[in-house]
């Protein structure tokens, strides 16, 4: 299922035949060093990838649009789309330690071979637009305090840096907030 398309990016559901691409992303330390609670680690093998991938697809199937863990597919200079996803852009309810899910998170990751071209910014901007059309008025990006690349994406999206917080993932993170223009 396709959600959004820009001139260079396509966000769609992860499909069963994307397992190898999923493994290629999440077995890389360059990706996993920034994701989730500590201690962080890579996906060790295809068995673990298969298990995580199945859980992700199950979770995603239950989410209303535009929420999801969207596979990011990109086009080359000639307009040909990559066969496999090269990253993820997500829009999900964000759960704190108390179980509160009143905040919504946008997040992203991208294979190192595709970084530095503005692809994540382009796809995330489109996803924020879909969120706004669905009625969202505030969305957070939560980054590792040392992840300056993701923080730069958040700033390019017009998100406000709200500083460090211990509210998410049982660790210290840097929180950014996007709000619709009518609420600023």
Residue 1 host element (H or E): none
Please tell me the predicted confidence (pLDDT) of residue 182: 43
Cα atoms found within 13 Å of the Cα of residue 29, Cβ hemisphere only? 1
Q: What pLDDT digit, counting tens, does each position of 98-120 carry? A: 888 899 999 999 999 999 999 99
Which single residue is written with the structure tokens 């595709």?
114
- How many beta carbons lie within 10 A of that of residue 50, not counting itself? 14
Please tell me the predicted confidence (pLDDT) of residue 183: 44
Fold of 2-179: Aminopeptidase (3.40.630)
Please tell me the predicted confidence (pLDDT) of residue 60: 83
Cα atoms found within 13 Å of the Cα of residue 119, Cβ hemisphere only? 26
pLDDT of residue 132 exceeding 50, the answer is yes
Please tell me the predicted confidence (pLDDT) of residue 181: 67
pLDDT of residue 158 exceeding 60, the answer is yes
Distance CA 169, CA 167 (A): 7
> Domain limits of the chain?
2-179
């Amino acid at each position: 299922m396709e959600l959004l398309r820009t001139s260079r990016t396509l966000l769609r559901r992860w499909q069963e035949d994307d397992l190898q691409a999923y493994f290629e992303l999440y077995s890389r330390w360059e990706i996993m060093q920034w994701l989730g609670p500590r201690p962080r680690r890579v996906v060790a093998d295809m068995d673990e990838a298969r298990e995580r991938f199945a859980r992700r697809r199950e979770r995603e199937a239950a989410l209303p649009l535009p929420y999801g863990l969207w596979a990011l597919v990109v086009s080359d200079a000639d307009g040909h789309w990559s066969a496999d996803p090269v990253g993820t852009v997500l829009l999900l309810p964000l759960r704190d330690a108390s179980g509160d899910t009143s905040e919504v998170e946008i997040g992203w990751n991208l294979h190192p071979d595709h970084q530095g071209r503005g692809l994540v910014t382009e796809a995330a901007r489109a996803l924020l637009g879909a969120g706004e059309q669905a009625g969202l008025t505030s969305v957070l990006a939560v980054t590792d305090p040392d992840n300056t690349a993701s923080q730069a994406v958040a700033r390019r999206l017009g998100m406000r840096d709200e500083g460090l917080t211990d509210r998410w993932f049982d660790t210290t993170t840097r929180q950014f907030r996007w709000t619709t223009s009518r609420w600023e």
